[in-house]
Structure 1
Amino acid sequence: MKNSPRNILLTGATGILGSHVLYELLIACLKGERRVKITLVVRSREKESARQRVIGVLSNPYRPTLLYSFTPEELFHFIDIIDAGLNELDDSHLARLKKAGRVHIIHSAAHTNLSVNPNVYDILYDDNYKGTLHLLQWASGVLEKFTFIGSAYSIGHRYGLIPDSYKQLTASGERAEISRRNWRNPYEELKTDAGYAVIRFCNQHNIKWQILRPSTICGRIMYQPLYYTPKFNVFYLFGKFFLRVAREDNRDELVRIVANPHSVLNVVPVDYIAKAITRVFDDDHIREMNLVYSNSLPVDYIVHHMIEYAGFKCEIVDTTPENQNILEKMYYKVVGPQFTEYINTPWHAYDTTVLRSIMKDVPEVNMHSIFPELYGYAVSHQFGEALTVAHISE
């Protein structure tokens, strides 16, 4: 049995990744591999209580089949709920948490928005940065360790091999100035800032810390039903855009996309990331780690596949085309500002030596070979709109 903390507080349990971390923890409890109490921070909504939202996750018809034999009430044996948003946590909530003793927080909750609109900064600052700081300060008296789920893309534009460690600190422990850290949007910048805030706070208060950074999340590849994810976002939305604008009278029209044909996009299944988190979060030797696949998908392949799937022709170009047709004007106005910065990056790869040593019994699938099925699943389920699931958002 693993030497894991008995009390875990998980944020983001109704989200894309957090729900699968919850599934992994529950499966480990049911198998007797862990003996933990899981506290979830979940906020009630106008028409749905926090408990109802969690029940929705536990009874989701697309939950891993390993959980089919258990009712939500049986699974609540391992779960307690704090009904609050991150910035709403107060002394009354802390009193409940203190009864459990020392706690290890896995902070997965985040508002994901890759927009470059300056107005997005304030929203992300409140939710992702201030929410993280408030959570740390609120729990500091009982906090044993803080595992922060960051983003592999908080490194910004980078060429070559990317290591697990991103942090750069001065001798006194302060954040060092980082040259050429070219963030693509406020989301990446604030994920970086929040990570440094975690390090600084935990070092000052003698709290163990850990930063785990997933790359682009896609549907499941280990747990049935395969290819499911609670929300089809990020790269899925690129294909969704072209399917939505496709009509009989614009079939076979050419779309010129600014991208680096030699670059890649690291796509990793949500259940693989969740399993990795539950294997490394109580390993104090691991401070930073990218949760990624060893091999990435060629940008050229992804772009061509999704555009041609919608019935258009595609050409990769170096610069934004002039004399744009209607489709191109729509693309560069609506989704181009977000996607161009991710498909026009320098070639890069991630060092997965440590991660693969931990996940050596979990083989990586060939993402290139399964991509048509992975993407086809999203299309056939209308990118989640046809799924009968709880209201899951991150």
Structure 2
Amino acid sequence: MKIILTGATGTLGSRILFSLLEQKFDQIDSVYLPVRGKAATHPETRIRNMLSSQNIPEFIQNNRSAIAHKIKVIDAKNILEPTSYLQDENIDYFIHSAGYVNLSTDPAAKKEVFKENFEFTKDIFKAYSNRINKFVYISTAFSFGDIGGIVKNDYVDNDTGNYRNHYEAAKHASEKYLLEKSKTENLPVQILRPSVLGGNIEEAPNFFISKYMVFYLFAKFFYNNKSKDGIRIATDSATGLNIIPTDYAANVIVKVLETNIQQLNIVHAEETNMMKGIVQVLDAVGFSNFSFTDEQITTATGFASKLEEFYYETIGVHLHPYLNSKPSEWDTTLLESILPMPKYNLEDYLMQTVSFAKAANFRNQKW
């Protein structure tokens, strides 16, 4: 089995790589990893640093030498030139996990978000469609926008237009493009949609995640706050956030790789209630001077404090649409048949993941 995996140094991409090697080690001949150089760090060095970390599964740690022979690092600058490193080889699975996560709602950001997500995905598919047996696209469970209600796995044709940001819209556009190309080129395409990623639930180290984003940024904001000001947090009592452990999401992705499942949401059956979750997050970082409101707070309405103004002019801009989303119910019947969700308390898990991040001072892994 020969695989190309983009985004291997990312939060989910790295876990997909580990799960591939754990679950399909004997089947895998080669895993090609297109990786960007970072500052003065060469792509191969980034992968070597990742495999040398103590925050990786025991199987990977114990088989580093054998794994190194299966991994082939490619400078990402050559990703659109497959012949430069594949020669005449064909690939079984192209797993496109790389993405440009930008939750900005600023109209000026749209062009860049679509270029890095939609246009880049199109370019990759065109470059590899005659060299692969299957294209696997890692999207987001929120690509449908803010529609609420019961959410099933097949919603790629839903055109609500009610996207919370350009990132969701770009991911949805990519899904539609790929499924249309799957029909016209007779090439299997698989759309897999994890929800918000949280720390590991089963694999050591528990609650570890390599990059702190989304609700972690909310926690970090208040953890770093030195002001004694109070703040009103705008959210709705019915709103929830769907959070999925990264190790669970990666294991599901690898398990469905060889199936004919075309679309799958990798989500928790229940959403974490936003108000209860915020209480847990802020308790974990030691911030208590807050209250909830269902009013929309803007410059026009005025701010109750400097801290409140700073929040709504920075991360609040990006997080507000999620803190006030319509409640959703997720159909996880198919997902549970593939890999049952571990049983755990949603609010306790949220506090433990944030506490883990706090202990790490919210520092991302240097891979």
Q: Is the pair's TM-score, using the shorter chain for normalization, greater than 0.5?
A: yes
In structure 2, the CA distance between the partners of 1:232 and 1:102, relative to structure 1 (3 Å rule), is: closer
- Equivalent residue for 1:208? 188
Which whole-Å deviations, capped at 9, do the CAs of 1:327-384 have from their partners, x for residues lacking one? 1111111111111100101111211000001103x52432222222111011111112
The correspondence for 1:222, drawn from 191, 199, 202, is: 202
C-alpha distance in 1 between matches for 2:192 and 2:152:
12
The correspondence for 2:270, drawn from 295, 307, 319, is: 295
C-alpha distance in 2 between matches for 1:296 and 1:15:
24
- Equivalent residue for 2:327? 347
- Aligned to 1:155, the other structure's residue is in SS state coil
* Contact preservation (8 Å) 2:4, 2:91: no
How far off is 1:262 after superposition? Answer: 1.2
Aligned 1:223-372 pairs, distance under 5 A = 223-247=203-227, 250=228, 253-284=229-260, 286-308=261-283, 309-321=285-297, 322-324=301-303, 325-360=305-340, 363-372=342-351
- Equivalent residue for 2:47? 54
How far off is 1:79 after superposition? Answer: 1.4
* Contact preservation (8 Å) 2:280, 2:347: no
* Contact preservation (8 Å) 2:80, 2:123: no
How far off is 1:94 after superposition? Answer: 2.2
- Equivalent residue for 2:66? 74
- Equivalent residue for 2:179? 199
C-alpha distance in 1 between matches for 2:225 and 2:334:
43
C-alpha distance in 1 between matches for 2:287 and 2:79:
49
Which whole-Å deviations, capped at 9, do the CAs of 1:59-94 have from their partners, x for residues lacking one? 1221112222233x4312211222124xx5344x32
C-alpha distance in 2 between matches for 1:90 and 1:234:
30
Q: Which amino acid aligns with 2:2?
A: N
> Structure 2-normalised TM-score?
0.93
- Equivalent residue for 1:174? none
C-alpha distance in 1 between matches for 2:306 and 2:28:
58
In structure 2, the CA distance between the partners of 1:307 and 1:255, relative to structure 1 (3 Å rule), is: farther
C-alpha distance in 1 between matches for 2:85 and 2:314:
46
The correspondence for 1:27, drawn from 14, 22, 45, is: 22
- Equivalent residue for 1:383? 362
- Equivalent residue for 1:89? 79
C-alpha distance in 2 between matches for 1:311 and 1:277:
37
Q: Which amino acid aligns with 1:52?
A: T
How far off is 1:95 after superposition? Answer: 4.8
C-alpha distance in 1 between matches for 2:188 and 2:145:
26
* Contact preservation (8 Å) 1:304, 1:314: no
- Aligned to 2:290, the other structure's residue is in SS state strand
- Equivalent residue for 1:183? 163
How far off is 1:54 after superposition? Answer: 1.1
* Contact preservation (8 Å) 1:219, 1:374: yes
Which whole-Å deviations, capped at 9, do the CAs of 1:104-152 have from their partners, x for residues lacking one? 1111000111111223222222211111111111112112111100011
* Contact preservation (8 Å) 1:261, 1:316: no
In structure 2, the CA distance between the partners of 1:41 and 1:318, relative to structure 1 (3 Å rule), is: same
The correspondence for 1:104, drawn from 81, 93, 104, is: 93
- Aligned to 1:68, the other structure's residue is in SS state helix
C-alpha distance in 1 between matches for 2:314 and 2:366:
28
Over aligned residues, Cα RMSD in angstroms?
1.8
> Structure 1-normalised TM-score?
0.87
Long gaps (5+) in structure 1: 1-5, 169-176
Q: Which amino acid aligns with 2:259?
A: D
C-alpha distance in 1 between matches for 2:313 and 2:84:
49
- Equivalent residue for 1:159? 148
Long gaps (5+) in structure 2: none
Q: Which amino acid aligns with 2:255?
A: R
* Contact preservation (8 Å) 2:34, 2:74: yes
C-alpha distance in 1 between matches for 2:346 and 2:189:
32
Which whole-Å deviations, capped at 9, do the CAs of 1:201-257 have from their partners, x for residues lacking one? 22221100110001000111111111111101111101111121234xx1xx43211
Alignment size in residue pairs: 362
- Aligned to 1:10, the other structure's residue is in SS state strand
C-alpha distance in 2 between matches for 1:203 and 1:79:
32
Q: Which amino acid aligns with 1:245?
A: N
How far off is 1:36 after superposition? Answer: 3.9
The answer to whether structure 1 residue 138 and structure 2 residue 127 are counterparts is yes
How far off is 1:259 after superposition? Answer: 0.6
C-alpha distance in 2 between matches for 1:68 and 1:379:
25
How far off is 1:302 after superposition? Answer: 1.6
C-alpha distance in 1 between matches for 2:108 and 2:179:
27
C-alpha distance in 1 between matches for 2:171 and 2:84:
29
C-alpha distance in 2 between matches for 1:68 and 1:167:
39
Q: Which amino acid aligns with 1:292?
A: V
